[in-house]
Amino acid sequence: MKLALRDISVRFGGFKAVDGISLAIEPGTLVGIIGPNGAGKSTLFSMVTGFLPHGEGVVSLGEADISRDTPFGRARRGMVRTFQVPREFAHLTVRENLMAAAPGQSGENLIDLFFRPGKVRNEEDAIRREVEETIDFLKLRAVADVSAGRLSGGQKKLLELGRVLMTKPKLILLDEPFAGVNPVLIEELSGHIRALNQRGIGFVIIEHDLSALSRLVSVLHVMDQGKLLASGAPAEVLARKDVREAYLGGAA
Protein backbone atom coordinates (compact mmCIF):
# COMPACT_ATOMS: atom_id res chain seq x y z
CA MET A 1 0.00 0.00 0.00
CA LYS A 2 1.45 3.28 -1.07
CA LEU A 3 1.37 6.09 1.48
CA ALA A 4 1.25 9.54 -0.06
CA LEU A 5 1.45 12.79 1.87
CA ARG A 6 0.60 16.06 0.21
CA ASP A 7 1.30 19.45 1.77
CA ILE A 8 1.15 18.24 5.36
CA SER A 9 1.39 21.04 7.91
CA VAL A 10 0.87 21.01 11.67
CA ARG A 11 0.71 24.16 13.76
CA PHE A 12 1.00 24.41 17.52
CA GLY A 13 -0.22 27.91 18.22
CA GLY A 14 1.72 30.11 15.85
CA PHE A 15 4.56 27.61 15.51
CA LYS A 16 4.70 25.32 12.49
CA ALA A 17 6.07 21.99 13.72
CA VAL A 18 5.50 20.43 10.28
CA ASP A 19 5.62 22.78 7.33
CA GLY A 20 4.35 21.63 3.97
CA ILE A 21 5.74 18.09 3.75
CA SER A 22 4.96 16.10 0.60
CA LEU A 23 6.37 12.65 0.09
CA ALA A 24 5.42 9.19 -1.08
CA ILE A 25 6.30 5.88 0.53
CA GLU A 26 6.26 3.06 -2.03
CA PRO A 27 4.59 -0.22 -1.00
CA GLY A 28 6.76 -2.71 0.80
CA THR A 29 9.83 -0.47 1.07
CA LEU A 30 12.10 0.32 4.00
CA VAL A 31 12.32 4.07 4.40
CA GLY A 32 14.13 6.18 7.00
CA ILE A 33 13.40 9.65 8.32
CA ILE A 34 16.16 11.55 10.07
CA GLY A 35 16.54 15.08 11.34
CA PRO A 36 17.57 16.98 14.45
CA ASN A 37 15.43 16.93 17.59
CA GLY A 38 12.36 19.11 17.18
CA ALA A 39 12.41 18.77 13.37
CA GLY A 40 8.81 17.58 13.47
CA LYS A 41 9.34 13.88 12.74
CA SER A 42 7.17 12.49 15.54
CA THR A 43 4.54 15.15 14.86
CA LEU A 44 4.44 13.97 11.25
CA PHE A 45 3.71 10.40 12.45
CA SER A 46 0.95 11.67 14.75
CA MET A 47 -0.59 13.61 11.89
CA VAL A 48 -0.44 10.68 9.48
CA THR A 49 -2.00 8.26 11.98
CA GLY A 50 -4.88 10.65 12.68
CA PHE A 51 -3.95 12.07 16.04
CA LEU A 52 -3.87 15.73 15.17
CA PRO A 53 -7.29 16.67 13.84
CA HIS A 54 -6.10 20.24 13.34
CA GLY A 55 -3.33 19.21 10.91
CA GLU A 56 -3.58 20.30 7.28
CA GLY A 57 -2.93 18.42 4.05
CA VAL A 58 -3.93 15.21 2.36
CA VAL A 59 -2.95 11.71 3.51
CA SER A 60 -3.73 8.88 1.15
CA LEU A 61 -3.17 5.18 1.58
CA GLY A 62 -3.38 3.07 -1.55
CA GLU A 63 -6.19 4.62 -3.57
CA ALA A 64 -8.06 6.02 -0.57
CA ASP A 65 -7.93 9.53 0.83
CA ILE A 66 -7.79 8.84 4.56
CA SER A 67 -7.38 12.45 5.71
CA ARG A 68 -10.72 12.33 7.53
CA ASP A 69 -10.45 8.77 8.88
CA THR A 70 -10.26 8.19 12.64
CA PRO A 71 -7.03 6.82 14.14
CA PHE A 72 -8.88 3.54 14.63
CA GLY A 73 -9.98 3.52 10.97
CA ARG A 74 -6.44 4.15 9.77
CA ALA A 75 -5.11 1.33 11.93
CA ARG A 76 -7.76 -0.99 10.49
CA ARG A 77 -6.57 -0.09 7.00
CA GLY A 78 -3.18 -1.49 7.92
CA MET A 79 -1.12 1.52 8.96
CA VAL A 80 0.08 1.48 12.55
CA ARG A 81 2.75 3.28 14.52
CA THR A 82 4.95 2.88 17.57
CA PHE A 83 5.95 5.65 19.95
CA GLN A 84 9.28 7.30 20.67
CA VAL A 85 8.68 6.76 24.38
CA PRO A 86 7.29 3.21 24.29
CA ARG A 87 3.68 2.89 25.31
CA GLU A 88 1.93 -0.21 26.53
CA PHE A 89 -1.26 -1.26 28.25
CA ALA A 90 0.49 -1.18 31.58
CA HIS A 91 -1.93 -3.30 33.62
CA LEU A 92 -2.35 -5.98 30.96
CA THR A 93 0.14 -8.80 30.70
CA VAL A 94 2.43 -8.97 27.68
CA ARG A 95 0.23 -11.71 26.28
CA GLU A 96 -2.94 -9.66 26.82
CA ASN A 97 -1.30 -6.61 25.23
CA LEU A 98 -0.72 -8.65 22.10
CA MET A 99 -4.15 -10.27 22.14
CA ALA A 100 -5.93 -6.92 22.56
CA ALA A 101 -4.49 -5.67 19.28
CA ALA A 102 -5.59 -8.59 17.11
CA PRO A 103 -8.27 -7.57 14.60
CA GLY A 104 -11.57 -9.33 13.94
CA GLN A 105 -12.68 -10.23 17.46
CA SER A 106 -16.38 -10.91 17.42
CA GLY A 107 -16.08 -11.40 21.18
CA GLU A 108 -16.20 -7.62 21.53
CA ASN A 109 -19.87 -7.86 20.69
CA LEU A 110 -22.01 -9.02 23.63
CA ILE A 111 -24.47 -10.89 21.45
CA ASP A 112 -21.77 -13.06 19.91
CA LEU A 113 -20.05 -13.34 23.28
CA PHE A 114 -23.11 -14.86 24.96
CA PHE A 115 -24.89 -16.56 22.08
CA ARG A 116 -22.07 -17.75 19.84
CA PRO A 117 -19.44 -18.76 22.37
CA GLY A 118 -18.10 -21.43 20.01
CA LYS A 119 -17.23 -18.89 17.35
CA VAL A 120 -15.64 -16.58 19.92
CA ARG A 121 -13.63 -19.47 21.36
CA ASN A 122 -12.34 -20.50 17.94
CA GLU A 123 -11.24 -16.94 17.23
CA GLU A 124 -9.58 -16.71 20.61
CA ASP A 125 -7.69 -19.93 19.91
CA ALA A 126 -6.49 -18.60 16.57
CA ILE A 127 -5.41 -15.30 18.14
CA ARG A 128 -3.69 -17.14 20.96
CA ARG A 129 -1.68 -19.26 18.50
CA GLU A 130 -0.61 -16.13 16.67
CA VAL A 131 0.31 -14.42 19.92
CA GLU A 132 2.48 -17.38 20.94
CA GLU A 133 4.28 -17.18 17.59
CA THR A 134 4.84 -13.46 18.06
CA ILE A 135 6.11 -14.06 21.60
CA ASP A 136 8.63 -16.57 20.28
CA PHE A 137 9.58 -14.36 17.33
CA LEU A 138 10.39 -11.48 19.69
CA LYS A 139 11.84 -13.73 22.43
CA LEU A 140 9.39 -12.42 25.02
CA ARG A 141 8.50 -15.87 26.39
CA ALA A 142 10.07 -15.20 29.81
CA VAL A 143 7.88 -12.16 30.42
CA ALA A 144 4.70 -13.32 28.67
CA ASP A 145 2.65 -13.23 31.88
CA VAL A 146 4.22 -10.11 33.37
CA SER A 147 2.27 -6.83 33.51
CA ALA A 148 3.61 -4.77 30.61
CA GLY A 149 4.17 -1.76 32.86
CA ARG A 150 6.99 -3.66 34.55
CA LEU A 151 9.03 -4.42 31.46
CA SER A 152 12.43 -2.85 30.82
CA GLY A 153 12.71 -0.16 28.15
CA GLY A 154 14.11 -2.60 25.60
CA GLN A 155 11.40 -5.17 26.28
CA LYS A 156 8.78 -2.46 25.84
CA LYS A 157 10.24 -1.64 22.42
CA LEU A 158 9.90 -5.31 21.48
CA LEU A 159 6.36 -5.37 22.81
CA GLU A 160 5.51 -2.31 20.72
CA LEU A 161 6.72 -4.11 17.64
CA GLY A 162 4.74 -7.19 18.64
CA ARG A 163 1.59 -5.19 19.25
CA VAL A 164 1.72 -3.49 15.86
CA LEU A 165 2.44 -6.86 14.20
CA MET A 166 -0.70 -8.32 15.79
CA THR A 167 -2.83 -5.75 13.95
CA LYS A 168 -1.78 -7.40 10.64
CA PRO A 169 -0.28 -4.20 9.26
CA LYS A 170 0.85 -3.43 5.75
CA LEU A 171 2.81 -0.35 6.77
CA ILE A 172 4.51 0.18 10.12
CA LEU A 173 5.74 3.56 11.32
CA LEU A 174 8.51 3.13 13.91
CA ASP A 175 9.48 6.14 16.04
CA GLU A 176 13.08 5.74 17.21
CA PRO A 177 12.99 1.96 17.67
CA PHE A 178 16.70 1.81 18.58
CA ALA A 179 16.82 4.65 21.12
CA GLY A 180 18.00 3.34 24.48
CA VAL A 181 18.38 -0.18 23.10
CA ASN A 182 21.65 -2.05 23.46
CA PRO A 183 23.67 -2.90 20.30
CA VAL A 184 22.87 -6.61 20.45
CA LEU A 185 19.15 -5.91 20.58
CA ILE A 186 19.49 -3.34 17.78
CA GLU A 187 20.94 -6.08 15.57
CA GLU A 188 18.13 -8.39 16.58
CA LEU A 189 15.44 -5.77 15.95
CA SER A 190 17.00 -4.96 12.56
CA GLY A 191 16.83 -8.66 11.72
CA HIS A 192 13.14 -8.75 12.66
CA ILE A 193 12.43 -5.68 10.57
CA ARG A 194 14.20 -7.17 7.54
CA ALA A 195 12.38 -10.48 7.94
CA LEU A 196 9.01 -8.74 8.17
CA ASN A 197 9.85 -6.57 5.18
CA GLN A 198 10.56 -9.73 3.24
CA ARG A 199 6.98 -10.76 3.99
CA GLY A 200 5.84 -7.56 2.27
CA ILE A 201 5.38 -5.20 5.21
CA GLY A 202 6.56 -1.64 4.55
CA PHE A 203 8.40 0.38 7.20
CA VAL A 204 9.01 4.05 7.82
CA ILE A 205 11.61 4.43 10.55
CA ILE A 206 12.53 7.58 12.46
CA GLU A 207 15.97 7.00 13.94
CA HIS A 208 19.05 8.83 15.19
CA ASP A 209 21.35 5.82 14.93
CA LEU A 210 22.44 6.61 11.38
CA SER A 211 24.68 3.61 10.86
CA ALA A 212 22.05 1.08 11.92
CA LEU A 213 19.43 2.93 9.91
CA SER A 214 21.52 3.23 6.73
CA ARG A 215 22.12 -0.50 6.74
CA LEU A 216 18.39 -1.08 6.89
CA VAL A 217 16.67 1.39 4.59
CA SER A 218 16.83 2.03 0.86
CA VAL A 219 15.51 5.59 0.99
CA LEU A 220 16.26 8.31 3.49
CA HIS A 221 14.29 11.52 4.03
CA VAL A 222 15.80 14.36 6.02
CA MET A 223 13.61 16.80 7.94
CA ASP A 224 14.71 20.09 9.41
CA GLN A 225 12.49 22.71 11.06
CA GLY A 226 9.34 21.06 9.80
CA LYS A 227 10.47 20.95 6.18
CA LEU A 228 11.82 18.20 3.96
CA LEU A 229 15.47 18.99 3.37
CA ALA A 230 16.59 16.05 1.28
CA SER A 231 15.51 12.64 0.01
CA GLY A 232 17.42 9.82 -1.67
CA ALA A 233 19.68 6.84 -1.15
CA PRO A 234 21.24 6.89 2.34
CA ALA A 235 24.85 7.24 1.21
CA GLU A 236 24.08 10.14 -1.11
CA VAL A 237 21.86 11.95 1.36
CA LEU A 238 24.30 11.61 4.23
CA ALA A 239 27.12 12.95 2.05
CA ARG A 240 25.29 16.19 1.36
CA LYS A 241 26.71 19.26 3.01
CA ASP A 242 23.37 20.87 3.93
CA VAL A 243 22.24 17.63 5.59
CA ARG A 244 25.41 17.34 7.64
CA GLU A 245 25.04 20.95 8.72
CA ALA A 246 21.41 20.58 9.72
CA TYR A 247 22.02 17.31 11.49
CA LEU A 248 25.25 18.10 13.25
CA GLY A 249 24.39 21.74 13.94
CA GLY A 250 27.04 22.98 11.52
CA ALA A 251 29.86 21.15 13.32
CA ALA A 252 30.74 19.19 10.20
Partner 1 sequence: MAFWIELLISGLVAGLVIGLSALSITLVFGIARFPNAATGDTMTVGAYGALLGHRATNSLLVGGLTGAIAGAIVGFLGYWFIFRKLAQRSNVALLVASIGLAFVLRAILGVSFGHSQQVFQLPLVRPWRIGDVPVHPNDLVLAGACATILAIVFAILHLTPIGRRMRAVADDPALARVSGISPSSVMTVLWLLAGAVSASAGIVAGIKTVVSPEMGWDLLLPAFAAAIVGGIGSPVGAVVAGLLIGVVQEMATPFVGFTYKIALSFLLMLVVLLVRPRGLFGKLEGAR
43 vs 155, beta carbon nearer ligand ADP: 43
Q: How far is Cα 56 from Cα 241, in angstroms, rounded to an integer?
A: 31
Which of 42, 46, 82, 197 binds Mg ion (CB under 5 A)? It is: 42
* Segment interacting with partner 1, rule: CB under 8 A, options 10-18, 60-68, 118-126, 190-198: 118-126
**Hey, how many other C-beta atoms are within 10 angstroms of the C-beta on 49?**
18
Q: Does the CA dihedral 81-177-190-34 come out positive or negative?
A: positive
* Segment interacting with partner 1, rule: CB under 8 A, options 8-16, 35-43, 72-80, 182-190: 72-80
| 225 counts as binding Mg ion under rule CB under 5 A | no
99 vs 135, beta carbon nearer partner 1: 99
Contact 172, 81 (CB under 8 A): yes
175 vs 209, beta carbon nearer partner 1: 175
Q: Which residues bind ligand ADP (CB under 6 A)?
A: 12, 17, 35, 37-43
87 vs 194, beta carbon nearer partner 1: 87
Q: How far is Cα 203 from Cα 54, in angstroms, rounded to an integer?
A: 25
154 binds, among ligand ADP, Mg ion, partner 1, none (CB under 5 to 8 A by kind): none
Query: End-to-end CA distance of the chain, in Å?
Result: 38
| 81 counts as binding partner 1 under rule CB under 8 A | yes
Q: How far is the CB of 123 from partner 1 (least distance, A)?
A: 8
Q: Which residues of the chain form contacts with partner 1 (CB under 8 A)?
A: 49-51, 70-72, 74-76, 80-81, 83, 87-92, 96-97, 99-101, 103, 105, 107-110, 113, 120, 123-124, 149, 163-164, 167
